Amino acid sequence: MTDQGTSLHGRVALITGASRGVGRGIALAMADKGAAIAVAGRNLQSCRNTVAELNRRGAEAIAIQCDVASGEDITRAVEATTSRFGRLDVLVHSAQSFNYGPIRRLTPQEFDESWRTGPLAAVQLMQAAFPALRETQGLIVNVASGAGITAPPAMAAYAMAKEAMRTLTRVAAVEWGRYRIRALALCPFAQTDGMDDFEQSMGVSRDKDLVPAIPLGRLGDPETDIGRVVAFLASDDARYLTGSTLMVDGGYTYLR
């Protein structure tokens, strides 16, 4: 029997970037705890594929085409979620563009894309979702990155945007605590398609360069290592936790 403290039955989550990677892992883990899921992403068919897997597991879910760089798409995604399920308990912003390269070569457009899909999208999502989250005394989880702390070379646009996500989350926790809305940042390190793209773009090897630097000796699994943490954060057992950043990275950021 599912422990009542960690059960998400009756709760609804809107997750951006949920068609793949960490976002998909979060969707699967939350659904396994009983949550209904709104799967939002740019590629509608990929979102539908995630919904099909959620349905196969017995979860309620809908697919929403949403480019988080578009304020109109964001508004529609929140409205579609509340229209379908009648409420919104958890907002997870996991979508983010990846722009790599040394500072002297990154274009203003690449910096702008990182900003628009990261912290600016998070702001717009939070604003659109605020009325629904106030009703449910809900949770915001913004997916950040240890790159904002370790400041690796050639990742200025990405690291800048991800660190801004952590700051935004802390301010939201302070401002919206009066409404009993919680806000948390998550810094994962997981095996995803994005990690594959990173390896190719940066010319690094996970086996030679990345895994040896992780104290626990492996990259995380998007569902069982990352998603289950978010499922816990969304549960009643974590109801007094807000404003924090959780480093779900096997110790990579602070222990290497």
Amino acid in the structure at residue 22:
V
Q: How far is CA 14 from the centre of its chain?
A: 10
Beta strands in 129-172 (DSSP E): 139-143
Q: What order do you get walking across the sheet with 182-188 strand by strand? A: 61-65, 36-41, 12-16, 90-93, 139-143, 182-188, 245-248
The three state secondary structure string of 20-68 is CHHHHHHHHHHHHCCCEEEEEECCHHHHHHHHHHHHHCCCCEEEEECCC
List active site positions. Answer: 158
What sign does the CA torsion over 146, 148, 153, 155 have?
Answer: positive
Instruction: Please name the residues in contact with 68: beta carbons below 8 A apart, sequence gap of 6 or more.
Output: 16, 17, 40, 74, 93, 95, 116, 117, 121, 124, 125
What's the Cα-to-Cα distance from 122 to each of 144, 175, 236, rounded to whole Å? 11, 15, 24
Asked if 148 and 166 count as a contact pair (C-beta separation under 8 A), the reply is yes
